[in-house]
Structure 1
Amino acid sequence: MSETRQIVCGHCGRTNRLPAERTPEGARCGACHQPMFTGHPIEVDEEAFGRHVVNSDIPVLVDVWAPWCGPCRAMAPMFERAAQQLEPQIRLLKLNSDNAPALSSRLNITGIPTLLLMRGGREIARHAGAMDARSIVAWTQASLTRS
């Protein structure tokens, strides 16, 4: 049996197994048949966050933000652009800290926006403060290389 990677669908939340030799580009969910990657971050709640972080074999980049935060709103289009460059090697998620205060507390979020880079269910890098798309991509790739 060939090796597989697990990837969580951004549409229905089901975990899909993808053969390791197959690129995730163009892959569709076995349950909902939607594309696994769209080049856009996925808005998640606490439950979906857990599914993506624990069940995905690919790294997950999380933007912890709030709608009232000016720097968060300014960074939103930059995070969107970064998704177009980083997917499908990395899943990008947006977590509204106002809607998930308990999770934000468990993650020790003390300021927003905060980027969390996670792999294998654990945090491998963190950055507080707004960044442009180029910086988000460079920071993510450098952090993955270091870990």
Structure 2
Amino acid sequence: MDADDADFHAVVDESSIPVLVDVWAPWCGPCRMVSPALEKLAGELAGNLKLVKVDADENPIVSRRFGVQSIPTLVLLDHGEVVDTQIGALPENLLRSWLESRLPIGER
């Protein structure tokens, strides 16, 4: 799912499940490399995690909100609150470990 500055609050902050925000840009090679792994993990965690992609160039408000200075930046949120941030591309196995160590958030 994509979100922009206009609908970010409704899509992300009001979500009943944790949200992984992928701040990326079309010209970013590492962003394109990590995207398939994120999509796969989001599919496996459907119902427990929502993946939301935000184009950093087109959505400066969201980028500023999370202090994004380099992409890809992944921001894990629960009820609009930042749980953790991952900067840079990781291979699928490390992304999986990172997410699994932080989910389920609501039970902590």
TM class, shorter-length: 0.7 to 0.9
> Do the aligned partners of 2:48 and 2:104 also contact (CA within 8 Å) in 1?
no
Give 1:53 deviation, angstroms.
2.1
Q: Secondary structure at the match of 2:2?
A: strand
Residue 140 of structure 1: SS of its match in structure 2? helix
Query: What is the identity percentage for the equivalent residue pairs of Structure 1 and Structure 2?
Result: 38
Q: Alpha-carbon deviation of 1:140?
A: 1.2
Find the counterpart in structure 2 of residue 77 from structure 1: 36
Q: Which has the larger radius of gyration?
A: 1
- Is the counterpart of residue 64 in structure 1 residue 23 in structure 2? yes
Aligned to 1:110: 69
Q: 1:57, 1:145 → 2: CA distance? A: 12
Q: What RMSD, in angstroms, separates the aligned Cα atoms of the two structures?
A: 1.6
The TM-score, its normalising length taken from structure 1, stands at 0.66
Shift of 1:52: 2.2
Q: Alpha-carbon deviation of 1:138?
A: 1.8
The structure whose RCO (Cα within 8 Å, separation 6+) is larger is: 2
The residue matched to 2:83 in structure 1 has which SS? Answer: strand
Determine if the alignment matches structure 1 residue 99 to structure 2 residue 58.
yes
**1:115 Cα deviation from its structure 2 partner:** 0.6
Separation in structure 1 between the aligned mates of residue 103 and residue 85 of structure 2, nearest angstrom: 12
One-letter identity of the residue aligned with 1:101: P
| Residue 53 (structure 1) aligns with | 12
Query: What do the CA deviations read for 1:69-116 (whole angstroms, capped 9, x no partner)?
Result: 110011111111111111111111111001101220121011100110
SS at match of 1:80: helix
TM-score normalised by length of structure 2: 0.88
Alpha-carbon distance in structure 2 between the residues aligned to 1:114 and 1:47: 20
